[in-house]
Amino acid sequence: MIDVEDLIALVRNYNPRTDADLIRRAYAYGREMHRGQLRHSGEEYFTHPVAVAAILTEQRLDDATIVTALLHDTIEDTKSTFAAISKLFSGEIAELVDGVTKLTNLQLSSTEAKQAENFRKLLIAMSKDLRVILVKLADRLHNMRTIKSLPPEKQVRKARETMDIFAPLAGRMGMQWMREELEDLSFRVLNPEGRSSIIRRFITLQRETGDVVHRITNDIRIELEKAGIEADVFGRAKKPYSIWRKMQEKNLAFSRLSDIYGFRVITGSEADCYRVLGVIHQRWRAVPGRFKDYISQPKNNGYRSIHTTVSGRDGKRVEVQIRTREMHEVAEAGVAAHWSYRDGVRAQNRFAVDPAKWITTLTERLEADDDHTEFLETVKLEMYSDQVFCFTPKGDVIQLPRGATPLDFAYAIHTRIGNSCVSAKVDGIRVPLWTRMKNGQSVEIITAEGQRPQASWIDIVVTGRAKAAIRKSLREEDKGRFVKLGHELARVAFDHVGKKATDKALRAAARRLGLPDETELLARLGSAELTARHVVETLYPELATLTPIEEVDAGRAVMGLAPDQRWRRAGCCQPVPGERIVGITYRGQGPVVHAIDCPALAEVEEQPERWVDLHWTAGRHAPVHTVSLNMTISNATGVLGRICTLIGEQKANISDLHFVDRKPDYYRIIVEVDLRDVEHLHNVMTALEAETDVAQIERYRDLSRKP
């Protein structure tokens, strides 16, 4: 673990004015808060926050960010609080630590709808203070570097989440080095054989051809010296994942890949960049269609560079990137360049762009979009896309992802232009709407009153903005007809399983599917975007055919106990499999298992020696875990019988029932139900909530039952 004085020395390398005492206090506080905690590898836990802080010093970040890294897990994993950090350090640091904690608590690898909603929250958190995501990315990078200590299934889940979310996010923020390392570390977990295969082929290629990188680097240097241009030249082989992705995209074998080497030329001025380009194109043949000028047309994240691919030695294609030193700083650090320090003052880099503008634009544009799937699709398209630059007839530049069409261009200008588009001219020539745009083309959109988007347009456009606008227009145009048809489809499907498609039932289904209301649910049924069977199974999953699964032995439902050690569930919180749990020991008996959020745990908060780390055994549990439900139901004939029947249909057993309050119109009852796990509980409560005669239902927790 890096010593505090060594960490301060790393900061002083770029910020001689650093507040060393602040870092020492944060280091000591973080170490004390994490005392006794260990990582999966067996190391002292505090080694992780220190490593994250060290990663951030490489990006020359300010003291507040370094301190946040040291404290980033204290609110979540220790007894520390927001108020304590605010008092001991500052409100700014407390806000940053709290922001990282909230990002950590987002389960980004869950279902698509939940993932989209969490992604929305992530973007909003980023827009408040970008240093939060810088700490989170460094946190994820160190976790991926040390991922081997995790169980295999957790490694895969974390690697997939990193590949889908954090790596492209790092790239979109201009931190390309971090994106490449995150991708490669994830690739090592997700496809170790594929990665090893790439590395073995590289070794074989190097043995056959020698050090190609060294030779080509020297060739470029010699040509630049002849032209009298001062510049630094660097070369490297591309990362295994980058090569693997290219092989998959182009469906090529390794032997047929050409541009597996990349070179950078760092110059002193922008004019020298174009002189270097001329020298390289004079010496080697340029590959058509592989030239990009991001100096005259920078990317949204501030990235500037000239990219060209040429045929080098032995006909091998190599990519050359040409940029100034200022541009290189932004290309390496991305958003961190906006916060970095040099010689004790905030570094001024005219090319550093705050990507909060991109985040704010994205969140504002999609703020009113209730369709979570479309939101996630749009975000991923924004993050993964490479870009082309096209011009309006007035000369304005429109940035689009690679593969975009004139329709995407029209929607990028305005939704109204896109909806009324009938044709387009590219460089003065009328072209089909499905034409793929190229860099530098001028596009004129031709519109007509009365034109409406067509269903086939969905397959033509590639941008999330265009897809969302087309779908919205199509839904609104025929919404009345779709709602009527959807209502009939729902009625038939519900009747088929002996249920009624009431407004309340449809409202409950819509809520569970992440839709705003039952009208939207019916519209999607009628337009075939949802199936009636899926809606029924969402409310009544127990009516679907289940594949028999061997049940977990009820006596071994909890892991983390000594052999033959007895345990019992706490009556106050009644934890069920799927919930986070902890054991509390009592003299002369086995531990009592509580849900991690049980209020009763506050009484033993100062007695950590009594806490036992427990978790539920993986698998399908027997329906023996009793949970109390507090229900208010109509006082009408047959209602109680229907409630009991409904619970039975969910394959749940009623072990007890008693009346708490009787009124002329309503009863309040406590029903004790035997369940398998938290999902079973959710299904039972959702089915009951959809029942018209159930006015209210909630989980009942009785603190008088605590041990």
In a domain, 590, yes or no: yes
Confidence label for 410 from pLDDT (cuts 50, 70 and 90): very high
354 vs 84, residue with greater confidence? 84
Please check whether residues 530 and 607 belong to one and the same domain: no
In a domain, 345, yes or no: no
CB distance 359 to 85 below 8 Å: no
> What is the distance in angstroms between the CA of the first residue and the CA of the last residue of the chain?
42
Count structural domains, the chain: 5
**pLDDT computed for residue 20 by the predictor:** 93
Residue 236 pLDDT > 80:
yes
Q: Could you give the 3-state DSSP secondary structure of residue 444?
A: strand
Sort strands 421-426 and 620-621 into parallel, antiparallel or unpaired. Answer: unpaired
C-alpha distances in angstroms, 176 versus 172, 181, 332, 382, 539? 8, 9, 6, 16, 44
**pLDDT computed for residue 687 by the predictor:** 82
- For residue 562, the one-letter residue type is A
Q: Which of the residues 44, 58, 77, 693 is marked catalytic? A: 77
CA–CA separation, 77 vs 69, rounded Å? 14
**What are the residues whose beta carbons fall under 8 Å from the beta carbon of 31, sequence distance 6 or more?**
46
**pLDDT computed for residue 106 by the predictor:** 62
User: For residue 75, what are its two tokens?
Assistant: 């609110």
Range of the domain at 253: 193-333
In a domain, 343, yes or no: no
Q: Give the lowest-confidence range in 60-74, 328-342, 356-370, 610-624.
A: 356-370
In a domain, 349, yes or no: no
In a domain, 641, yes or no: yes
Please check whether residues 484 and 425 belong to one and the same domain: no
CB distance 460 to 403 below 8 Å: no
Q: Could you give the 3-state DSSP secondary structure of residue 651?
A: coil
In a domain, 180, yes or no: no
670-703 pLDDT, tens digit per residue, is 999 999 888 888 888 888 887 878 888 999 888 7
Q: Could you give the 3-state DSSP secondary structure of residue 593?
A: strand
In a domain, 598, yes or no: yes
CATH number at residue 276: 3.30.460.10
**pLDDT computed for residue 123 by the predictor:** 66
How confident is the model over 115-121, as a mean pLDDT? 58
Please check whether residues 671 and 582 belong to one and the same domain: yes
User: For residue 283, what are its two tokens?
Assistant: 């010496």
627-674 pLDDT, tens digit per residue, is 999 999 888 888 888 888 888 888 889 988 888 888 777 888 999 999
- Mean per-residue pLDDT over the chain, rounded: 82
**pLDDT computed for residue 250 by the predictor:** 57
Confidence label for 270 from pLDDT (cuts 50, 70 and 90): very high
CA–CA separation, 431 vs 443, rounded Å? 10
CATH number at residue 144: 1.10.3210.10
Residue 347 pLDDT > 80:
no
281 vs 665, residue with greater confidence? 281
How confident is the model over 492-502, as a mean pLDDT? 82
Confidence label for 535 from pLDDT (cuts 50, 70 and 90): confident
592-606 pLDDT, tens digit per residue, is 999 988 888 888 877
The percent of residues in the chain predicted with pLDDT above 70, rounded, is: 83
Tell if the pTM clears 0.75, that is, is over it: no
In a domain, 678, yes or no: yes
Please check whether residues 139 and 283 belong to one and the same domain: no
Q: What is the DSSP string of 41-99?
A: TSSBTTHHHHHHHHHHHTTT--HHHHHHHHHTTHHHHSS--HHHHHHHT-HHHHHHHHH
Confidence label for 547 from pLDDT (cuts 50, 70 and 90): very low
How confident is the model over 200-206, as a mean pLDDT? 76
Buried b (16+ CB within 10 A) or exposed e, 58-75: ebbbbbbbbbbbbbbbbb
Residue 352 pLDDT > 50:
yes
Confidence label for 113 from pLDDT (cuts 50, 70 and 90): very low
**pLDDT computed for residue 408 by the predictor:** 92
- For residue 281, the one-letter residue type is H
Conformation bin of residue 210: beta by default, left when phi > 0, alpha when psi is -120 to 50: left
Q: Starting at the earlier edge strand, list the strands of the sheet with 589-595.
A: 568-569, 589-595, 581-586, 611-613
Please check whether residues 422 and 498 belong to one and the same domain: no
Please check whether residues 254 and 275 belong to one and the same domain: yes
48-71 pLDDT, tens digit per residue, is 999 999 999 988 888 999 999 999
Please check whether residues 291 and 397 belong to one and the same domain: no
CATH number at residue 448: 3.10.20.30
**pLDDT computed for residue 319 by the predictor:** 86
Q: Domain boundary at 333, 360, 393, which?
A: 333
Confidence label for 353 from pLDDT (cuts 50, 70 and 90): low
646 vs 379, residue with greater confidence? 646
CB distance 245 to 274 below 8 Å: no
User: For residue 57, what are its two tokens?
Assistant: 């010093």
706 vs 593, residue with greater confidence? 593
**pLDDT computed for residue 361 by the predictor:** 58
Please check whether residues 655 and 564 belong to one and the same domain: yes
Q: Starting at the earlier edge strand, list the strands of the sheet with 285-293.
A: 231-237, 261-267, 317-324, 306-311, 285-293
Told to judge if 77 belongs to the known catalytic residues of this protein, a careful annotator would answer yes
Residue 336 pLDDT > 70:
no
362 vs 25, residue with greater confidence? 25
Query: Which neighbouring-strand residues pair with 444?
Result: 425
Q: Could you give the 3-state DSSP secondary structure of residue 24?
A: helix
**What are the residues whose beta carbons fall under 8 Å from the beta carbon of 525, sequence distance 6 or more?**
482, 485, 486, 487, 489, 490, 531, 532, 535
Q: Give the lowest-confidence range in 135-149, 324-338, 600-614.
A: 324-338
How confident is the model over 240-244, as a mean pLDDT? 81
Please check whether residues 202 and 129 belong to one and the same domain: no
How confident is the model over 323-337, as a mean pLDDT? 80
Residue 31 pLDDT > 60:
yes
Please check whether residues 486 and 421 belong to one and the same domain: no
**pLDDT computed for residue 329 by the predictor:** 81
Told to judge if 76 belongs to the known catalytic residues of this protein, a careful annotator would answer yes
- Under DSSP, the state recorded for 432 is -
**pLDDT computed for residue 356 by the predictor:** 59
Q: Which of the residues 19, 44, 76, 551 is marked catalytic? A: 76
Residue 583 pLDDT > 80:
yes
User: For residue 485, what are its two tokens?
Assistant: 């048809």
CATH number at residue 631: 3.30.70.260
Q: Give the lowest-confidence range in 64-78, 274-288, 377-391.
A: 377-391
Confidence label for 111 from pLDDT (cuts 50, 70 and 90): very low
CB distance 707 to 586 below 8 Å: yes
Please check whether residues 145 and 261 belong to one and the same domain: no
Please check whether residues 605 and 695 belong to one and the same domain: yes
